[in-house]
Structure 1
C-alpha cells in the first residue's frame, strides 16, 4: 500500500464546468425532466393499483418496473439539481456510497424486472393453456421479490468491498458517484473487488439478457407458426418490452464504454449526456412506451385524466 493513501471523507466531481447563468437553464431542464418522470411513473402505478382489471401478472410486473424507475431517478435527480446550482461540486463519502448503492441496485433491478417480464410473456404466448396454473399470484410475488432482493443483496456486497479501500485521490471525473471511478482511485489491492465485479456484472447483464433472448426466440417461433391474431397479440405486448430493453441496454453500453476507455476526445457535454442516458431517459421512456402502446393502460389513463372514472 502506498504511504500517501488515506480514507477520504469527501469526493470532488471534475466533470462539472462553469456554465455561468446557463446553470439556471440546466436546472429548469433537469427539474422538468424529473417532474415528468415522477408524474408519468406515478400515474401508471396508481392506474394499475386502483383498477382491479389490471391486477394481472403482466401489469403487476409493470408496476414493479415503474417503481424501480422512480427509485433510480430519485437516487440521481435531487442530487444532480443541487450540484447544478452549487459552486463547489463535492459530496461526502457516505452519501457517495449511498448514491452508488441506489443507482447500481436500480440498474440490476431493471435488468431483473425485464427478464421476469420476458418470462411472463413467454408463458402467456407459448403456453397459454397452462399460463394461469403456472403464473399464480404466489409465483408473481416470488418473482418480484427475487428481482428486488437480488439487486439489493448484490450491490450490498459490492459496497462492503469498496468502502474499506484506501484511496490515493478523491477526484471523480463524472457528475455523480460511480463505483468504478472510486476503484480506480484505490492504492490498496483490488483483486477481490475486480473478481466480484466480474461475477456481479455477469449475473446482472449477460444472464438476464440470455434469458430474454431465449424467451423471445421461443415467442418468435410461435408467432411464425401461429395465426395472425397470435402475432398481433405478441407484437402488442412484446414491442414496448423490447423497446425498453434496447433503450436501457443502449444507455448501459455507453456508460460501460465511457467508464473503461479514455473518452476525453469527446465534447464534455456529450460525455455527460452519455453517462446520464440510462439514468435519465429510461425512467421516462419506459412509462411513455407502455402508456402509448398498451391499449388497456392507455384507455384507463385517458379516462382517469379526463375525470370519467
Structure 2
C-alpha cells in the first residue's frame, strides 16, 4: 500500500517569474490581450452567424476555430490574471485538473478543426463538382462535433492515467497546469503516461499535419495546372489556413521540446515566454488573419458594425 504522504495535495504551487516592480503593468497587458482575443473572436463568430451568405463550410469552420479560441482563452487567462495579482500563486488540485482539461482539449480540437479545414479546401479545389455533396452543412457540423469528441476522448484517457498517480511534490514548473508538469510530480512509475503521451504527441504533431500536407500537395498540383485566376483564388482561401496551421504546429513543437528538456537549459523568463505562445498566439492572430485575408468576412464585419453604430445614433436621436 502506498504511503498516505504520497497522495494528491490539496493545492499546487505555480512557478512565476519574480516581477515585483512590473506586476500591475504585466497584469494590465494580460487583461488587454484577453479583451482583444474575446472581442475579435466574438466579432468573427457574430459576423458569420448574422450573414446567411457566410453559412458555407469554410466560414462555419472559421467560426468553430474562433469559438475554440475563446474556450482555450477562458481556460488560460483568468487563472493567470488572478495569480499575477496574488501573493501565494497556488491553485487547488481540482482547479488544476480542470484547467488541464480545458487547455489540452483546446489544443486537440484546434488541430482537428485545422485538419477538417484542409480537407474542405482539398474537396473545394480538387473535386469541386462533388463539393456540395461531400461538404453539406450537416456533414460540416458532424465533422466539428467529431473534432470535439476526438479532443475530449484523447485527453480523458490521459487525464485518467494522471489522476491515478500519487504526488510527492506540489510545485508545478509553469504558471499554469499542464499534464506533463503534473505527471513529473509523481512518486511512482509513469511509463503508461509516457507511452500514451508520446502516442498523442505523434498524432497531433505527426499524423494530423501529415494528412494536411498530403491535402495541400494535391491542391498545389491542381493549382499548377489551373489558370492564373483560379490559382489566385485558391491561394487567397488557403493562405490564412496555412498560416494558422504553421505557427500553431511550431508553437506545439516548441512546447513539446520545452516539456522534455531539463529546467536549467533555458532561462526561466524564456521558458515562460515559449510556454504561453500556444495559448496566446493562435486565439490572438486567427481572427485577425481571417478577418484581414478573407474579403467576405472583412466586408460583412465592417458593414455590420457600421450599421450597428448608425442604428445606435438614430436611436438616440429618436429618443430625444
Using the size of structure 1 for normalisation, the TM-score is: 0.96
1:295 aligns with 2:257: no
Inter-partner Cα distance in structure 1 for 2:135 and 2:75: 32
Comparing 55-64 and 258-267, the one that deviates more? 258-267
**How many aligned positions are there?**
308
Inter-partner Cα distance in structure 2 for 1:71 and 1:294: 23
1:263: how far off? 4.7
1:200: how far off? 2.2
1:119 aligns with 2:119: yes
1:61-106 alpha-carbon deviations (Å, 9 max, x no partner)? 1111110000000000000000100010111110001000000000
Inter-partner Cα distance in structure 2 for 1:58 and 1:17: 41
Aligned to 1:41: 41
Inter-partner Cα distance in structure 2 for 1:199 and 1:18: 36
Matches within 5 A, 1:48-59: 48-59=48-59
1:215 aligns with 2:215: yes
Q: Secondary structure at the match of 2:129?
A: coil
Inter-partner Cα distance in structure 1 for 2:263 and 2:7: 28
Using the size of structure 2 for normalisation, the TM-score is: 0.93
1:2: how far off? 7.1
Aligned to 2:101: 101
Q: Secondary structure at the match of 2:118?
A: helix
Q: Secondary structure at the match of 1:12?
A: strand
Aligned to 1:144: 144
Which one has the largest radius of gyration? 2
Aligned to 1:12: 13
Aligned to 2:315: none
1:181-205 alpha-carbon deviations (Å, 9 max, x no partner)? 1111111222222222222223333
5+ residue gaps, structure 1, are none
Aligned to 1:230: 230
* Contact 1:10/1:170 (<8 A) preserved: yes
* Contact 1:27/1:81 (<8 A) preserved: yes
Alpha-carbon RMSD across the aligned residues, in angstroms, is: 1.5
